[in-house]
Amino acid sequence: MIALLRRDLALALRSGGGFGLSLAFFLIVVMFVPFGIGPNSATLATIAPGILWIGALLACLLSLDRIFQLDYEDGSLDLLATAPLPLEGVVAMKALAHWLTTGLPLTLAAPLLGFLLNLPAGGYFWMFLSLLVGTPALSFLGTFGAAITVGLKRGGLLLSLLVLPLYIPTLIFGAQSVTLHLQQLSNATAFSVLAAISLFTFALIPFAAARALRVNLR
């Protein structure tokens, strides 16, 4: 398991779809928002949590098609499917590798980019915490979509259309957990639901994605 994780991390960092591309896209989204809506500080502060979450979500989409596609093209995925290692474990390690190279860097960068959107001082901690808890769900749900579309030519668009509806609950409760805190309201329910979504994906997605892979590799 650890060897597979190290391999996927090395491949992700060597290819162009690593954390650099995702961070660059995240930065571009955040930088262009003030140009589109104006420099009003109050408006930027109000929408900052939602914009940061949307930017992180879209940045995660950029590298989803690489999770299984490279292994499928060079035949490594067939070997992994027939290896003694459970395919569910392979899926979990690939989802973890995607989060470490995409979700975690975005989480660390979000508080810094929040400064560009005039995020209120009380929102930095919850912005970081909500992304830390919620972005793993994005990676695991994206892994499920990648498993369904593996082997399809130009499946990137189909993958995005498949995964985006699944991302909506994470986006809603992730942004609300920050917004409610800034409004001096209790965000315990929103944050608890966000954590529950992530735990649900950890428990279910490896099995669902492994099933999809077995069907596609027949």
Residue 154: the pLDDT is 67
pLDDT tens for each residue of 19-41: 678 888 999 988 888 888 887 88
| pLDDT (0 to 100) of residue 134 | 96
Write down the pTM of the prediction: 0.90
pLDDT band of residue 74 (cuts 50, 70, 90) is confident
What is the pLDDT, as a whole number, of residue 217? 78
Task: Give the pLDDT band (50/70/90) at residue 73.
Answer: confident
Per-residue model confidence as pLDDT tens digits over 171-213 = 999 999 999 999 999 999 999 999 999 999 999 999 999 998 8
pLDDT value at position 19? 61
The residue ranges of every structural domain in the chain are: 2-216
For the stretch 40-52, pLDDT in tens is: 888 888 999 999 9
Q: What value does the mean pLDDT of the chain take?
A: 87
Q: Using pLDDT thresholds of 50, 70 and 90, give the confidence band for residue 4.
A: confident
Q: What's the confidence (pLDDT) of residue 177?
A: 95
Q: C-alpha dihedral over 192, 145, 131, 15, to 10 degrees?
A: 160
pLDDT at 176: 96
Greater model confidence, 72 or 55: 55
